[in-house]
Amino acid sequence: MVPFKTSVFILALHLLEGALSNSLIQLNNNGYEGIVIAIDPNVPEDEALIQQIKDIVTQASPYLFAATEKRFYFKNVAILIPENWQTKPEYVRPKLETYKNADVLVAEPDTPGNDEPYTEQIGNCGEQGERIYLTPDFLAGKKLHEYGPPGRAFVHEWAHLRWGVFNEYNNDQKFYLSNGKNKAVKCSGAITGKNLVNKCQGGSCITKACRSDRVTGQYEKECEFIPDEQQTEKASIMFAQSIDSVVEFCTEQNHNKEAPNMQNEKCNLRSTWEVISDSEDFKKTTPMNTQPPKPTFSLLQIGQRIVCLVLDKSGSMAIGDRLNRLKQAGKLFLLQTVEQGSWVGMVAFDSAAYIKSELLQIHSSTDRAALVKSLPAAASGGTSICSGLRSAFTVIKKKYPTDGSEIVLLTDGEDNTISGCFNEVKQSGAIIHTVALGPSAAEELEELSKMTGGLQTYASDQIQNNGLIDAFGALSSGNGALSQRSIQLESKGLTLQDTQWMNGTVIVDSTVGNDTLFLVTWTKQSPQILLWDPSGKIQNGFLVDAQTKMAYFQIPGTAKVGIWTYSLQTSLQTLTLTVTSRPSSATLPPITVTSKMNKDTGKFPSPLIVYANIRQGAKPILRADVTAVIESANGKTVTLKLLDNGAGADATKNDGVYSRYFTAYDTNGRYSLKVWALGGINAARQREIPQQNGAKYISGWIENGEVKWNPPRPENNENDLQDKQVCFSRTSSGGSFVASNVPVAPIPDLFPPCQITDLKAEIQGGELINLTWTAPGDDYDHGRAHKYIIRISTSILDLRDKFDDSLQVNTTDLIPKDANSEEVFVFKPENITFENGTDLFIAVQAVDKVNLTSEISNIARVSLFIPPEAPPEASPEAPPETSSPFVPCPDVSINSTIPGFHILKIVWQWIGELQLKIGSN
């Protein structure tokens, strides 16, 4: 068995969490600043790697500059060096740079030898990606034949990351039929090469020409397009930047619009340069007249975590038991969430600020208990947020610079002077995490999080939603020790009536179990608490804090793997249950669930998208039951079932990212997001990672007429764990967002059906066309559409640009199904010439009950191929063609006009027969 690499553990812990992408990149006078490249702590210390990172960016900058018509270059980069590497004078402490907001991660590959550079993209065309992944061997130039110079590949990935463009090749479908002939999926079409198969058996390999299937006309699956090493074509970087002559992106003029690749599918047939030209970056710049300077680099080394709690104790905190809820959530943070070795201080504020605790390093439970005693005990006075922040800076500066420190700021009150300390916050280099409690917290609060890259959260006064404890539970370190990271397994609440029970189960899987904590809170009197382990043994030992109205049970050692069962009984009050744990091993990556909205602000009627990313290391977890709960400022909740079906809001099927549109705006103001994920008998790790948005792996090159094959791409080990079912339970706080422009109820229906993005077409029975797609809804991906409009054309551009003028298919009998159901429709093309070699293009539009229409779907295509008449059967003694070890004779039919052609044809036939006889012997 090939073990998961610990470096993947770090991927899951550091880079798949957070409410929103907090990239620090800025574009300043054509130059990109604030790029963060992080080295995974499990990469062996090697100074050469730092130089290689500098080299790749330095090489990439002029290539990017030329490719973008002198518009963009790399100006400065921060390299984040692990804490466990040797300390050096030139390494300085980071400010806002963390593993959580790194734009590039350098880590060992999950599958040995798989050094493909790729970019995580969960959004649609034109939307920025999450981050770029590189390996040490790739940076060291050990994959030149497969991916080309590292600097060029970095520009390919940068286009994914920054401008949201996609690949112009397709590993799943390398050829397509056009006018009845096979064409390679490439861009531009002027790239030259040959279509070949590398057949290997018994340790020896031969190169053969690709053959077409007699029935479908399509090339055999093993067929590859092998490019010529010497080219003159300049485009395109998103096809194969490794070709020496390629120095440009495809434009509208040379883009291959028919190729079935992600760029065409996601971007409505637009070229990469068209998408780049529509970007905000492009609109902000003009071409430069001079060559840009070389990039500069800063070397930053991670240090100990320094965090100061800044807690509101103003008079309004007495409303709705807010102060006591603060103490409950603060106690969870101090007892469980914050990592061993961290330095923690505390400040409380009302009209003024009060230092409750100087920085104290957490070594033991005694240290944690001392900090718990410092939590504010009474509420009174006004609200002065800046006073609290300034006192926090003072506390931190007594021991450390404020660079890279963290402040957790909680407030429920309005403060119209908060902007008075914005400049001090910017200059401090500290990261501010904000917790807005209740409906009246200062509107400017989120600005502190945005300007410093912190997490922004919101908790309502609806205690049963457990929002405040969730907010504090989400504050694990962006750079913390891996074995100390707190993972939330459960978060539930319920208001009980007469002697009701709150029953449920929590799964402790094998990837967690250390330092497991069950925490129960109540609003009036202590409930009856019953807890059974997976063997059915009842667990005693809950510690009751009657004053704070909470009880907790810390399981010694590692908790038993399996289903833990709880029952809580009480009357006429609200209970909550929170369960947290830590990874069971430093080498086995835990299953993680991280959630976020695609934006931190929503303006009605624009929809938002909810994302939940479920991973074990780099492997996606499929078929999990994932539910998002979105709570508005009014305390109302909306529940959404998230899907990984590649339709609607979900960009890619089976990639472990579950998505859904949010349209149920209720009121203006803050909304919070929480996600529950449950893995049962159907959930499983994916055996293979889906096609990444990365640089093209070149299977081989044609050099001076000779084919030189590269080693085959590494495949996942069949004996690895990732194909086995997984059972787990997780909750994840996705932070908060702010809605505006929401009209007073009744809210009008302004939401059309979502775009159909997975339309597929196949020829059926020679003349029928079978269409399949995922049904959209009445409001994006909710409800049921009213009808479909299907149109066809023999011109792909006419169908895209003149959809309403294209030939309409009769859909009288096609009644839409509920959103996310599979639709199937079969029709026979009429009033259009459909003969052998005809390419037919199809698109669908959905219409809702108030006649709002969706965007036009992706364009599906079919190419009618009528098989030629079957040749006479071969004589019994003639071996099948596949038995010949020789390259087939060339097809000379196109040369029938050359002198002596008939004689040549006889000679070629004689040579072919001789080859077959020799091969059979």
Alpha helices in 726-858 (DSSP H): 796-801
Question: For residue 139, which of 124, 159, 153 has the smallest C-alpha distance?
Answer: 153
Alpha carbon distances (Å) from 85 to 81, 92, 299, 483: 7, 13, 12, 18
> Which tens digits make up the pLDDT trace of 826-849?
999 998 888 888 999 999 999 999
| 746: preceding bond cis by omega (within 30 degrees) | yes
Structure tokens at 339: 């990592």
Torsion over CA: 621, 627, 632, 635 (sign): negative
418 contacts 383 by C-beta, under 8 angstroms: no
* Contact present, 518 and 490 (Cβ < 8 Å): no
Give how far Cα 427 sits from Cα of 401, 423, 884, Å. 12, 6, 74
3-class state of residue 855 by DSSP: coil
Which residues does the chain have with pLDDT short of 50?
1-20, 688, 717-722, 874-921
Q: Do 603-683+725-740 and 760-864 share a fold?
A: yes
Q: Determine the distance from the C-alpha atom of residue 43 to the mean position of all C-alpha atoms in its chain, rounded to a whole number.
A: 23
Backbone angles phi, psi at 145, to 5 degrees: -65, -30
- Per the CATH hierarchy, to which homologous superfamily does domain 306-458 belong? von Willebrand factor, type A domain (3.40.50.410)
Read off φ and ψ for residue 892, nearest 5 degrees. Answer: -105, 10
Q: Which residues contact 364 (CB under 8 A, 6 or more apart)?
A: none
Predicted local confidence at residue 478, as pLDDT: 83
CATH architecture of residue range(s) 760-864: Sandwich (2.60)
CATH number of 481-586: 2.60.120.380
Residue type at 123? G
- Cα 583 versus chain centre, distance: 22
Residue 147: helix, strand or coil by DSSP? helix
Where helices occur in 73-232 by DSSP H, the ranges are 136-139, 144-147, 150-163
| Exposed e or buried b per residue across 12-37, where buried means at least 16 C-beta atoms within 10 angstroms of its C-beta | bbbbbbbbbbbbbeebeebbbbbbbb
At the topology level, CATH places domain 603-683+725-740 in: Immunoglobulin-like (2.60.40)
Q: What is the pLDDT of residue 426?
A: 95
Burial (0-12, 13-18, 19+ Cβ within 10 Å), 727: middle
Domain ranges of the chain: 19-168+276-301, 306-458, 481-586, 603-683+725-740, 760-864
Residue 76: exposure state from Cβ atoms within 10 A (0-12, 13-18, ≥19): middle
| Predicted TM-score of the model (pTM) | 0.90
DSSP 716-743: --TTSGGGSB--EEEEEEEEEEEEE-PP
For tokens 């194969």, the residue is 240
Sequence-distant (6+) residues with CB within 8 A of 519 are 332, 336, 469, 550, 551, 552, 577, 578, 579, 580
How far, in Å, CA of 226 to CA of 196, rounded? 7
**Rounded Cα distance, 163 and 160, in Å:** 6
The phi-psi region of residue 763 (left if phi > 0; otherwise alpha if psi is between -120 and 50; otherwise beta) is beta
pLDDT at residue 836, as a whole number:
87
Residue 12 makes CB contacts below 8 A (sequence gap 6+) with: 589, 590, 592, 615, 616, 617, 618
Enzyme catalytic residues: 157
